[in-house]
Amino acid sequence: MQQETHNAQQGSSKTTVDTDIEDLCVAVIRGLAMDMPQRANSGHPGTAMALAPLAHVLFSRIMTHDPSDPQWPDRDRFVLSCGHASVLLYSMLYLTGYGLTIDDLKSFRQLGSITPGHPEVGLTPGVEITTGPLGQGLATSVGMAVAERFLRSKVGSELVDHHTYVICSDGDLMEGISHEAASFAGHQRLGRLVCIYDDNHITIDGSTDLAYSDNVAGRFESYGWHVMPIGEVAEDRRVLQSAIETAKNDERPSMIILRSHIGWPSPHKHDTSAAHGEPLGVDEVRETKEILRLPEDQEMYVPESVLDFYRKAVAPKSAVRQSWESRLKSAPQETAELWKSLHNPPPRSWQQSLPIFATGTAVATRAGLKKCIGSTKQYLPGLLAGSADLTGNTGVELEDASQLSADYPAGTQVHFGIREHAMAATMLGASRHGGILPVGGTFFVFSDYMKPSVRLAALTHSHVIYSWTHDSIGLGEDGPTHQPIEHLMAMRAMPGIVIIRPADANECSQAWRIAVEHDGPVGLVLSRQPLEVLPGTSDPLENRTLENEGVARGAYVLAESEETPDIVLTASGSEVALCLQAREVLKNSGRNARVVSFPSWEIFEKQDEDYKKHIFPPGVPTLAVEAGSKLGWDRYATKVIGMESFGASAPGAQVMEKFGFTVENVSAEALTLL
């Protein structure tokens, strides 16, 4: 019987493994990779088939993970960036005991199953991040590596000492986000990040030669990565393990370049695009199983010997977890308290540190956010605040904060450079890792560069806070290229994210409280220009008991009419002040106007119907004012003063006047409605 000697999981001892059973394990993975798409008549078998030996090595030899506790904080993270190969991950999660069943595998890509077409975090035990949009997995893994290093610097390697492993594809490396993220990772020298590039030369359109001739090794070397081209060794488990063990001990992020053959050992479809994006077909599956010496007439074939092998391979990992739990229990009190505060919401007392701004003063809401963060950061030990180069402009510049760097991993100020997409993905990865509250900023118009990652944060209910500033045409001279028009509505259209556009600095303070305490992503849409602090916006904070009022309701009555209102004027952001001034003009005309500040549609939609009718009384006309697209306002307003074109380059006040955002125009439009 053949035998193979390899390093044990911790790399410090030798163990002898029966290669016959491991050969069978790899064959079984390949069988599952064929059967799941074939049964669903949909899916991607080829990559999973080619990478079966690699997955086997990672899950049984390399990674420290405990299927009995998938959320154990000090586990190694595994990211399948090429999420279309999800059958590979589902196979390994089933085999190693994460609670999946054969029936789950049979339900691949079916309605209500926990084995969807691409991996979804929160749905399938053992899935660390939702992947599918290519490049995202690689980029979010950078955030996981940042989080691991940051927390290790805070509490020590006794509690945080793990790696992040990524499998990526040609498509991942073609997408632009991979360039941004890899550049940032190399600059930060994230040595616990190990990426294996599946260089299989195939895309859905055909050979990668059609559109791709990058020198990947040279590219990643230029980023400062440890690059290991290991060639045609996709079937050699010893070489795969040795390469990964070498990579995990380097102080730089590592890129292992593996030449594989998609669909191997399919006799007619390996190395073809047909093996990439469609089932192999009944006859090809049968012939391939014959080559693999699997029962040709059995679907989802997993003998007990294979299950037994994997369950025994991962069983020692429970002891590693239990040892970690013992270390946590015996940690010094200061470390234990810090660990607790990193992984739990801040104490209720933190709200008392939120600033209150004096009525009548003028404060840009971006500056208000900076004051809010500075006043409360002592309660947020996991805070990582950064910006895509515009640090001083976005409100996320922390006073007296150290810069996060390769030499100082405990820094809380992150300079992402001009990499909005990678910033958003890194923030998402850090959030999914746990222990981190990421806050990142850029101009609102550049949220376009972030949107795929923001969408994944919304899809995964991840706690990420975005500071999007320069929120309207009011920013002025930079002109139409920098003035967001459609962005506010586009973000409101996205499920799963809360968007808040505060009217002044006090509403910004309330918004910061909501953002910190919310369990999903929050976008704060903030002004460049100073805004007058309005009467009434500080009340919920001054009283400290009215948490069901103000911004926390999404929309609220900021100024009531003296009698039953003839009209409701509503707005968000800087336009709320216009409504207050127009209210006085209408009062002089004998008209009663209620002013509703409307910072968050998403929060307002969660209120009960009685409250909604209280804010917008049936039968009373409503005029909405917002320096952005009118789209969608018809659900609340009778008429809208908004944008139907791009803006203009001029001082902000002039641009606002040109497009009708004046007291005179708001008053005139209100009177027209009446």
CATH of the domain at 459: 3.40.50.970
Cα dist. 330→69, 71, 323, 427, 500 in Å? 20, 21, 11, 31, 42
Answer whether residue 528 shows pLDDT above 50. yes
What pLDDT sits at residue 293? 97
Is 179 part of a structural domain of the chain? yes
Answer whether residue 114 shows pLDDT above 80. yes
Answer whether residue 1 shows pLDDT above 50. no
Answer whether residue 544 shows pLDDT above 60. no
Going by pLDDT thresholds of 50, 70 and 90, the confidence category of residue 539 is low
Q: Do 538 and 566 fall within a single domain?
A: no
% of residues, the chain, pLDDT over 90: 95
What pLDDT sits at residue 546? 42
Q: Do 319 and 416 fall within a single domain?
A: no
Which carries the bigger pLDDT value, residue 665 or residue 18?
665
What pLDDT sits at residue 562? 86
Token pair 């893994």 in the structure block, residue = 141
Answer whether residue 152 shows pLDDT above 70. yes
Active site residue 175: no
What pLDDT sits at residue 17? 55
Token pair 């890792």 in the structure block, residue = 433
% of residues, the chain, pLDDT over 70: 96
Mean predicted confidence (pLDDT) in 637-652: 97
CA distance 289 to 266: 9
What pLDDT sits at residue 60? 98
Of the residues 543, 574, 598, which one is the last residue of a structural domain?
A: 543
Tokens of 189: 């020298």
Angle, CA 585 vertex, CA 582 and CA 586 arms, to 5°: 90
Considering 22, 148, 284, 420, which one is annotated as catalytic? 420
What pLDDT sits at residue 2? 41
Report the number of distinct structural domains present in the chain: 3
- Reported as a single tens digit per residue, the pLDDT across 222-274 is 999 999 999 999 999 999 999 999 999 999 999 999 999 999 999 999 999 99
Is 6 part of a structural domain of the chain? no
Going by pLDDT thresholds of 50, 70 and 90, the confidence category of residue 540 is low
Q: Do 316 and 366 fall within a single domain?
A: no
Q: Do 248 and 142 fall within a single domain?
A: yes
Is 441 part of a structural domain of the chain? yes
Going by pLDDT thresholds of 50, 70 and 90, the confidence category of residue 306 is very high
Q: Do 267 and 132 fall within a single domain?
A: yes
Which of 202, 228, 204 is closest to 216 using CA atoms?
A: 228
- Domain containing 357: what range? 348-543
Tokens of 268: 């007619």
Cα dist. 367→235, 394, 459, 471 in Å? 57, 8, 30, 13
Are residues 592 and 645 in contact, defined by beta-carbon separation less than 8 angstroms? Answer: no
What pLDDT sits at residue 4? 46
Of the residues 543, 567, 585, which one is the last residue of a structural domain?
A: 543
Q: Do 60 and 151 fall within a single domain?
A: yes
Q: Do 418 and 398 fall within a single domain?
A: yes
What pLDDT sits at residue 538? 84
Going by pLDDT thresholds of 50, 70 and 90, the confidence category of residue 8 is very low
Answer whether residue 545 shows pLDDT above 90. no
Of the residues 491, 522, 543, which one is the last residue of a structural domain?
A: 543
Answer whether residue 326 shows pLDDT above 90. yes
Q: Do 223 and 356 fall within a single domain?
A: no
CA-based Rg of the chain, rounded to a whole angstrom?
Answer: 28
Q: Do 460 and 590 fall within a single domain?
A: no
Answer whether residue 7 shows pLDDT above 90. no
Give strand pairing partners of 386.
414, 440
Q: Do 319 and 366 fall within a single domain?
A: no
Answer whether residue 147 shows pLDDT above 50. yes
Is 334 part of a structural domain of the chain? no
Is 591 part of a structural domain of the chain? yes
- Reported as a single tens digit per residue, the pLDDT across 471-485 is 999 999 999 999 999
Mean predicted confidence (pLDDT) in 286-301: 97
What pLDDT sits at residue 549? 79
Is 418 part of a structural domain of the chain? yes
Q: Are strands 14-18 and 77-80 parallel, antiparallel or unpaired?
A: unpaired
Q: Do 110 and 240 fall within a single domain?
A: yes
DSSP state of 241: H
CA distance 97 to 167: 21
Answer whether residue 136 shows pLDDT above 50. yes
Map residue 551 onto helix, strand or coil. Answer: helix
Is 417 part of a structural domain of the chain? yes
Answer whether residue 6 shows pLDDT above 90. no
Tokens of 8: 């044990």
Q: Do 272 and 302 fall within a single domain?
A: yes
Mean predicted confidence (pLDDT) in 644-654: 97
Q: What is the CATH number of the domain that holds 654?
A: 3.40.50.920
Is 471 part of a structural domain of the chain? yes
